[in-house]
Amino acid sequence: MPTQYWKVRPYVLTGGRTRTRQHLLVHTLVSVPYYDAVFASGLLPESRSLYEHARKTRSVAELSAVCGMSLGVTRVVVDDLAATDRLQIHRDNYGSAFDYRLLERLRDGLRQLA
């Protein structure tokens, strides 16, 4: 686990960003399409750890747990790697059982209720 020193604050790992370009839910599956060890060796610890662990297809939540990173940091790191094609986000599992947009609308509505 790249548990960084406690004085390394999470905002510095993402440059303060909390939003992602891609839609990433906790159960969104990601994987490394072709693993490149030289590329991995040049990454910062969190990106590297995530890149290594995503050789096996995993959900965002799983990666967060196995890499020991908060969900917020994990989402941004996944998003950044995906933007360079180093990581693939699997969209195909949506629309099969649930339409995630419908689920989200339901969730948002319920949040307003709750």
Partner 1 sequence: MGPSSRRRATWRQRAARWLDPTVAQWAVAPQETAPPPPPPEDRADSLWPAICEQFALRILASAYQMGSHLEAVETDEQDPERLERLYRIDHANTRIRRHAENLQVLLGRRVEDANPQTVTLVDVARAASSAIEYYPRIRVGHVVDLGVVEFAADDVIRVLTELLDNATRFSPPSSSVIVSAYVTEDGSVLLRVEDAGVGVNPDQLAALNAMLAGNAPAPVAVDPAAHLGLVVVSHLARANHLRVSLTNRPSGGTTATVLVPGSLLCEVVPGAQRGPAMTFPTEPTAPVSRPPTWNGNQQRSAQMMASPDNTKSPTRHLTALSALPTDGNPGGQARQSSTGGLPRRVRESVRPDASPAGTHRPQRLAAAPQHGGSTGGGSSPDAWPDETAAFAAGVSDAQSAPLNEGHLP
3-state secondary structure the chain: CCCCCCCCCHHHHCCCCCCCCCCCCCCCEEECCCCCHHHHHCCCHHHHHHHHHCCCCEEHHHHHHHHCCCHHHHHHHHHHHHHCCCCEEECCCCCCCCCHHHHHHHHHHHHHHC
Q: Do 66 and 46 form a contact (C-beta atoms < 8 A)?
A: no
Residues 21-40 as x/- pattern, contact with a second copy by CB under 8 A: ----xxx-------------
Question: Pick from 17, 40, 20, 27: which is nearest to 93 by CA?
Answer: 27
Q: Give me the residues that bind partner 1 (CB under 8 A), please.
A: 1-22, 26, 29, 31-45, 47-49, 52-53, 55-57, 65, 67-72, 79-80, 83-86, 88, 90, 114
- Using CB under 8 A as the binding rule, whether residue 97 contacts a second copy is answered as no
> Whole-number minimum distance, CB 114 to a second copy, in Å?
5
106 touches, from a second copy, partner 1, none (C-beta below 5 to 8 Å by class)? a second copy
Q: Does 65 bind a second copy (CB under 8 A)?
A: no
By CB under 8 A, residue 102 contacts a second copy? no
Q: Which does 89 bind (CB under 5 to 8 A by kind): partner 1, a second copy, none?
A: none
Q: Residues in the site for a second copy, rule: CB under 8 A? A: 25-27, 103-104, 106-107, 110-114
